[in-house]
Amino acid sequence: MAVASNYEYKKIFGVIGYPISHSLSPIIHNWGFKCFNLPYVYFKWSIEPCKLPEFIVCVDTLNIAGLSVTIPFKEKIIPYLDELTDEATAVGAVNLVYTNEKNKKIGHNTDVDGFLAPIKDISLNSALILGCGGAALACIYGLKKKKVETIIVAGRNKDKLKSVKKRFNVEVIDWDLRDKPKADLLVNCTPIGMVSYKDENPYPDIESLSKFQLVYDVVYNPLETKLIKDAKRLGIKVIPGIYMFIYQALFQFQIWTKKTFDVNEAINLLKEYLQ
């Protein structure tokens, strides 16, 4: 695991995931540090799931100040943390780790508010969520906070679906039935559409996307997934994943640095990079 010298940087941060090559978190956070002349650095760490315990030892040994957490560790990392915030406890997933004044590792979730930021002024009564992993948990909880009446979750993992139903009291359906419900909002919380699956659409019947008022993809790399492109072609309002990504990163940045970077500048930065 590559790290910078503590003599050069006063604080070390990074994102942990597997795979992690698609992550643009280092670009946004290192840019933010530079904007405020902070002597911090942010890395990208690809860690095999079986190596998570060893990595946590490295976090303690190297005094790493904070972590962003992505697939598949949003739930797996919880047993290695000292405390969870109320938000992380409610969601059951963590996407941010920071160290408090007592040197304890605290797990938090900024995906919830990051997901809600682009839709805060949009009225929604129903939603269909594709996927039941850590990102889906944050989106479901966010929609609950937004008082969305009907939430349906489609997933492949039957055990996870049962857990989601119990935790949030929402309707769950088998993955093969995901084209049946009609809702105001469709949210993709699966990896389908990422760079490795960029030619795939998680929704099976493309033409029937027209029954949704809004399509929201949490995948942000590429800038426009096949789902977003197909929905735009049908004239449906869309929210690409870059917006959730920027806002959840902003809230992480605020917790770590007590500073706020410019959202529009950050969006333009990533759009230029992805294009």
Q: Are 236 and 256 in a shared domain?
A: no
| Active-site choice (10, 34, 44, 74) | 74
Q: Determine the average pLDDT of the residues in 150-172.
A: 97
The pLDDT value recorded for residue 275 is 78
Residue 250, token pair as written in the block: 């902003």
The answer as to whether 6 is a domain residue is no
The pLDDT value recorded for residue 7 is 46
In this structure, the chain runs to a length of 275
| 74 catalytically annotated | yes
The pLDDT value recorded for residue 4 is 47
State how far the Cα of 195 lies from the Cα of 189, in Å rounded to an integer. Answer: 15
| Cβ-based neighbours of 60, under 8 Å, separated by 6 or more | none
Q: Are 220 and 140 in a shared domain?
A: yes
Q: Are 248 and 237 in a shared domain?
A: no
Instruction: Tell me which residue of 83, 11, 6 sits closest to 41, measured CA to CA.
Output: 11
Q: Determine the average pLDDT of the residues in 47-57.
A: 96
Count of structural domains within the chain: 2
Q: Are 174 and 119 in a shared domain?
A: yes
Q: Are 145 and 236 in a shared domain?
A: yes
pLDDT tens readout for residues 177-199: 999 999 999 999 999 998 777 88
The answer as to whether 126 is a domain residue is yes
The answer as to whether 104 is a domain residue is yes
Q: Are 118 and 237 in a shared domain?
A: yes
Residue 232, token pair as written in the block: 């735009």
State how far the Cα of 115 lies from the Cα of 129, in Å rounded to an integer. Answer: 13
Residue 72: cis peptide before it, omega within 30 degrees of 0:
yes
Q: Are 162 and 172 spatial neighbours (Cβ–Cβ below 8 Å)?
A: yes
Burial 107-134 (b: 16+ CB within 10 A, else e): bbbbbbbbbbbbbeeeebebbbbbbbbb
Q: Are 21 and 76 in a shared domain?
A: yes
The pLDDT value recorded for residue 8 is 72
Residue 205, token pair as written in the block: 């019947």
Q: Are 186 and 147 in a shared domain?
A: yes
Q: Are 101 and 141 in a shared domain?
A: no
Q: Give residue 134's domain range.
A: 113-241
pLDDT tens readout for residues 108-135: 999 999 999 999 999 999 999 999 999 9
Residue 26: give its domain's CATH number: 3.40.50.10860
Q: Are 125 and 228 in a shared domain?
A: yes
The model's confidence at residue 5, banded by pLDDT at 50, 70 and 90, is very low
